[in-house]
Chains A and B, each alone.
Chain A
Amino acid sequence: MQRIGVFVCHCGSNIAATVDVSKVAEMALMEPGVVHAEDYQYMCSEAGQAKIAAAIQEKGLTGIVVCSCSPRMHETTFRKAAERAGLNPYMVEIANIREHCSWIHKDMEEATKKAVILMRAAVAKVNLNTPLQAGESRVTKRALVIGGGIAGIQTALDIADAGYEVDIVEKTPSIGGRMSQLDKTFPTLDCSACILTPKMVEASAHEKITIYTYSEVEKVSGFVGDFTVDIRKKARSVDMNKCTGCGVCQEKCPSKKAPSEFNRGLNTRSAIYTPFAQAIPNVPVIDREACIKFKTGKCGICSKVCQAGAIDYEQKDEIITEKYGAIVVATGFDTINLEKYDEYAYSQSKDVITSLELERVMNAAGPTHGHLERLSDGKAPKEIVFIQCVGSRCADDRGKPYCSKICCMYTAKHAMLIRDKYPDVNVTVFYIDVRTPGKNFDEFYRRAVEQYGVNYIKGQVGKVIPQPDGKLLVQGSDLLDNRQILKEADMVVLATAIEPNPDVRKIATMLTASIDTNNFLTEAHAKLRPVESPTAGIFLSGVCQGPKDIPETVAQAGAAAVKAIGLLAKDKLMTNPCTAQADILLCNGCSTCENVCPYGAITYEDKEVNDHGIRETRRVAVVNNALCQGCGACTVACPSGAMDLQGFSNRQILAEVDAICR
């Protein structure tokens, strides 16, 4: 029989205002095995911990239950306190009577009843707890960064500068990401490429950084400190070692009809291409779907003109397997599909464009060489209407419920730049709210209004109607003047909501990192651990975690790097002793657990067993405790109940359920 102590925390008034804590302590004494119970204002304080230690020693406790906040907050605190007092840390259970009880209930009587039940469940579990010993695992001193945009580049640079090897895996043929597509950046209006390309060059020249472009993460196994990753290096059809980047192949390529991804499909590119002039690496790829040679077998012009003999039509995808201690996700974003927003006539008129497309239009390397012109007829626009929150802050399921955060600022930027360069162009912005928190942000927006005369109208646009003469009739409302507005425009620019790169779902699944309903990766704690995934060893950088602008992205990238460095700096990690174990007498040898194990921790061996006198060789499951992460998938998949999780055994869980239902 265990000797259990129950410690009920008031958490100031956080718990005590809603739960009768002394009643919980009093009720605890009636539970089987409980020999000590007390309540205290702050159990996590030094004094509170001392009370726990004293009770362990004086009453000879063999297990304790702390009724307090979420185990995610103070489980470690209490385990350490118990360990210092001579108790195995895994003999500590937390009953979460704050997040699961006091914070979500109002009625004291009901909340107290529930707190008692949660306490009972924890006591029932501790009664079945056994001391567990943590093991050790090694740390591979190399980091993987998934995504080569500004977030990934910055994270990689920071980790590499700390002296650790970093690999960047980028899906497209060049690093640079979305930032490389931008023309100018707010609030300083400096050229995006001018500030980004030095970082790209630095990353590519860094001796600790290896860049895999045109590559994707294919498979991830292992766990914190010891991940094994397969990277698919897609066939570039160009030998990276031989290519000099002269560009002749691109000039001579007869297939020039593929839409340019870099210019958002506003113009075309050759089948063999580098996405943009400053691409890193400056080695083209052959788009095999557009290439005449690959489609018909005839052509081969690029190979003929290449002086370096770098064209290799036979090149195949290559799988690179590498070990990493930490993985940083920096997969970035894309703009949402506007299919469901047909009222803005995006699919009907070439002169209705997204803001990201406008970036390309305004850029010297863009489809119009930087001239502001209508994409339908090349004429200079005189009236431009910007529509804010297209798909952002959307109440229905057409768009996204969140604020995309960057649109107010880039629209002010666009409006200002247009008014500066083309003072005869009228610019109108329809907005719901203008949100400009951030250093020098509101000043920036006010300049657009006050100095540049941008016409801001509070209200939404109901419809954009393309006219027979090529103009766009914008139908909106002015909420401040309470009137309907009908405005003829030459161009309409949609501040299209951003969403996480769709690939993130696949990557999150491979990493067993959680994502929210909007496909943003979830942080371990929204406030206190914003750059870590709840999955150990996985860190988050940039927009994959939530909408943010460049300065925030760079700051978060650095933060993610620090967390990764903190991990890589360790030689060994304590492993979680809550791992699975197979009862070989119950094991059928059916391989179900092996099939569901996401960590490859289960293998099968022929073992000699003595089943109540019957000696035979049986095929049974064996768990590698170093690989097992204690997820418990095997325990629920095992039909015979042979698999059990130490610290969370089926018996313990059922004892908790029974205690709750009692």
Chain B
Amino acid sequence: MQELINRAKELLADGTVARVLGWKAGDLPYNPEPAYFESAEELKDFVYNGFCGANLSKYMIEASKLEGKTMVCLKPCDTYSFNQLIKEHRVDREKAYIVGVGCKGKLDIEKIKKQGIKGIESIQGAEITDDAETLTIQTLYGEKTCAYADAMLERCHVCKGKEHMIFDEQIGESKETKDAERFAEVERIEAMSPEEKFAYFQSELSKCIRCNACRNACPACSCRKCVFDSNKFDSSQKANVDSFEEKMFHIIRAFHVAGRCTDCGECSRVCPQGIPLHLFNRKFIKDIDALYGEYQAGADTDSKAPLTNYTFEDAEPSIVGKRG
């Protein structure tokens, strides 16, 4: 972390960048939040640890409009989102100085809490430089421990890899944390009967409080004006008055990001209700892979996306239809 701060100071000092986009400590030991730093002085609040899950790519849409370059800290998986935003002309590559930051898997406080660890006062072992396999947690009820891997976000268990897809320089080591099958859960749901599926989604989506956190965090949901906010459409500001509407929001959102979603997992990470929203997107990704060949959104900035491109090898609509 110190290396990052030092480098940020240098880049600010020599005028390469006008600001730094990173994370600062939150009011709890496990909720750092995205922040801009414009001076060496401000950088004293800079943090980078296992709880810095937030994908900063999306912030670069607004940062692209500001004077001067912005140093942005991107984890390997965040760089996919950044590439995708370049592809969609939403960010200006020239306005970004990308520091590819190391990552050894990001943490999910909910998983820690689920282990019965409460009253958390501080957490050791979440620092990016640590190679500790264990988190040591000081709580009101004494010291507790938790294996790092057991506290990782779902998305880190299906890590896309430790390579940054785009960067100006890299700081810190990364570790590939994949230890699960990416589509296992999707396959489990696919195997359900229609009634079971309906019941499953009903139970998950009925938790939704329409806080829009998933949409606001999602780098693919980057519309200037979301269809759910625009008075041009009858879908604007629909409250969840019935189960249809809560499903409609998430299904429309999934369709809108289909083929563009990099599977960064921010939707599920930020959901205060713990809805596994990424599963919708991942189902689309799985289908796209099966029907049009393996495709990873954001792996580059110039390939043609299968859903907005036509090739003679494309699956016939009848085949797509049969899959349901």
Residue among B87, B223, B234, B304 making CB contact with A639, cutoff 8 Å: B223
- CB < 8 Å: which of B232, B308, B310, B312 contacts A592? B308
Question: A640 contacts B225, CB within 8 Å?
Answer: yes
Contact A585 B234 (CB under 8 A): no
B305 within 8 A of A: yes
Q: How far, in angstroms, from A641 to B256 measured CA to CA in the complex?
A: 10
Q: Cα distance A592–B309 when bound, in Å? A: 10
| Interface presence of B230 (CB below 8 A) | yes
Tell me if A440 is interfacial: C-beta within 8 Å of chain B: no
Q: Tell me how far the C-beta of B62 lies from the nearest C-beta in chain A, rounded to whole angstroms.
A: 12
- CA of A650 to CA of B232, assembled, Å: 10
Give every chain A residue within 8 A of B233 (Cβ-Cβ).
641, 650-651
Q: Does A641 contact B312, Cβ atoms closer than 8 Å?
A: no
Within 8 A of A (CB), among B202-238: 222-227, 230, 232-234
- Find out whether the CB atom of A595 lies under 8 angstroms from the CB atom of B89: no
B217 nearest CB across to chain A (Å):
16
> Which chain A residues lie closer than 8 Å to B305 at the CB level?
595
Interface-centre pick from A585, A589, A598, A641 (highest chain B CB count, 10 A):
A641
Q: B134: shortest Cβ distance to chain A, in Å?
A: 43
Chain A residues lying within 8 Å of B90, measured Cβ to Cβ, are: 588-590
Q: Is the CB of B224 within 8 A of A588?
A: yes
9 contacts between A and B (CB under 8 A): A583-B232, A588-B222, A589-B88, A590-B88, A595-B304, A639-B257, A641-B232, A651-B232, A651-B234
Q: Mark A619-662, 1 if CB is under 8 A from B, else 0.
A: 10000000000000000010111000000001100100010000
B 82-97 to A, binary, CB cutoff 8 A, 1 in contact else 0: 0000011110000000
Is A518 an interface position by the 8 A CB rule? Answer: no
Q: Are B312 and A509 touching (Cβ within 8 A)?
A: yes
The answer to whether the Cβ of A596 comes within 8 Å of any Cβ in the partner chain is: yes
Q: Of A505, A506, A588, A637, which is within 8 A of B88 by CB?
A: A588
Give the interface of A toward B (CB within 8 A): 505-506, 509, 583, 585-592, 595-596, 598, 604, 611, 616, 619, 637, 639-641, 650-651, 654, 658
Distance in Å from the Cβ of A169 to the closest Cβ of chain B? Answer: 18
Q: How far is it, in angstroms, between the C-alpha of A654 and the C-alpha of B235 when the chains are bound?
A: 10
A68 to chain B, nearest CB (A): 29
A591 CA to B65 CA in the complex, in Å? Answer: 19
Question: What are the residues of chain B within 8 A of A616 when measuring CB–CB?
Answer: 65
Task: State the CA gap A403–B256 with chains docked (Å).
Answer: 45
| Cα(A650)–Cα(B227), bound, Å | 12
Chain B residues near A (Cβ < 8 Å): 65, 87-90, 222-227, 230, 232-234, 256-257, 260, 304-305, 308-310, 312
Contact of B223 among A509, A640, A658 (CB under 8 A): A640
In the bound complex, residues from chain B placing their C-beta under 8 Å from that of A651 are 232-234
B148 → chain A closest CB, angstroms = 37
Of the residues B88, B232, B234, B260, contact of A586 by C-beta under 8 Å? B232
Chain A residues lying within 8 Å of B257, measured Cβ to Cβ, are 639
Are B88 and A592 interface neighbours, CB within 8 A?
yes
Which of A585, A586, A587, A619 is packed against the most chain B CB atoms within 10 Å? A586
| Given A586-B230, A590-B90, A640 and B312 contact (CB-CB distance below 8 Å) | no
Choose among B223, B227, B234, B312 the residue that contacts A506 (Cβ–Cβ < 8 A): B312
Q: A586-B224, A651-B232 are in contact. List 10 more A-B contacts (CB 8 A).
A: A586-B225, A588-B88, A590-B88, A592-B308, A595-B308, A598-B310, A619-B89, A637-B308, A640-B230, A641-B227
Instruction: Assess whether B234 is in contact with A654, with CB atoms less than 8 Å apart.
Output: yes
B261 to chain A, nearest CB (A): 11
Alpha-carbon distance between A505 and B224 when the two chains are bound, in angstroms:
39
Query: B105 to chain A: closest CB distance in Å?
Result: 31
For A591, the chain B residues whose CB sits under 8 A away are 87-89
Contacts of B227 on A, CB cut-off 8 Å? 639-641
List of B residues within 8 angstroms of A506 by Cβ: 312
The answer to whether residues A509 and B310 also contact, given A590-B90, A639-B256 and a CB cut-off of 8 A, is: yes
Contacts of A590 on B, CB cut-off 8 Å?
88-90
Q: Inside 8 A of B309's CB, which chain A residues have their CB?
A: 595
Distance in Å from the Cβ of B93 to the closest Cβ of chain A?
14
A591 vs B232: C-alpha distance when bound (angstroms): 21
Contact A585 B225, CB 8 Å, known A641-B232, A641-B233: yes
- Measured CB to CB, the nearest residue on chain B to A637 is B308
Give the Cβ gap from A615 to chain B, nearest Cβ, in Å: 13
CB neighbours of B260 from chain A (8 A): 639
Give every chain A residue within 8 A of B312 (Cβ-Cβ): 505-506, 509
Which residues from B are CB-within-8-Å of A505?
Answer: 312
